[in-house]
Amino acid sequence: MTIWTDLAGIGFRLDYVDAGGTRTRALIAGEGQDIIALHGTSGHLEAFSRNIVPHVRAGYRIHAIDALGHGYTDKPNEPYEVYKYGEHVLRYMDAQGIEQAHLMGESLGGWTSGWLAINHPDRVRSIQLIAAGGTKADPAVMQRIKESTTKAVTSDDIDLTRKRLHLLMFDPERNVSEELVEIRHAIYHAPDFVRNIANLLSLQEMDVRQRNLLHPEDLAKIRTPTLIVWGTNNPFGGVAEATAMHENIAGSQLEIFNECGHWPQHEHAGRFNVLSIAFLNGNGAA
Q: Model confidence over 2-16: pLDDT tens digits?
A: 999 999 999 999 999
Report pLDDT for 283: 80
Using the predicted structure, report yes or no on whether residue 284 has a pLDDT greater than 90.
no
* Beta pairing partners, 14: 27
Q: Work out the average pLDDT over 140-162.
A: 94
Rounded-to-integer distance, Cα 58 and Cα 32, Å:
9
Class of domain 8-282: alpha beta
List pLDDT tens digits, range 92-143: 999 999 999 999 999 999 999 999 999 999 999 999 999 999 999 999 999 9
Q: Work out the average pLDDT over 269-282.
A: 97
Q: How confident is the model at residue 156 (pLDDT cuts 50, 70, 90)?
A: confident
Rounded-to-integer distance, Cα 204 and Cα 18, Å:
28
Rounded-to-integer distance, Cα 238 and Cα 184, Å:
26
Rounded-to-integer distance, Cα 86 and Cα 134, Å:
13
Q: Please, what is the average pLDDT of the chain?
A: 96
| b/e code 82-120 from CB counts within 10 Å (16+ = b) | bebbbbbbbbbbebbebeebbbbbbbbbbbbbbbbbbbe
Three-class SS state of 192: helix
Q: How confident is the model at residue 197 (pLDDT cuts 50, 70, 90)?
A: very high
Using the predicted structure, report yes or no on whether residue 210 has a pLDDT greater than 90.
yes
pTM given for the model:
0.96
Report pLDDT for 153: 95
Q: How confident is the model at residue 286 (pLDDT cuts 50, 70, 90)?
A: very low
Report pLDDT for 13: 97
Q: Work out the average pLDDT over 47-65.
A: 98
Report pLDDT for 1: 79
Q: Work out the average pLDDT over 34-49.
A: 98
Report pLDDT for 158: 96
Using the predicted structure, report yes or no on whether residue 72 has a pLDDT greater than 50.
yes
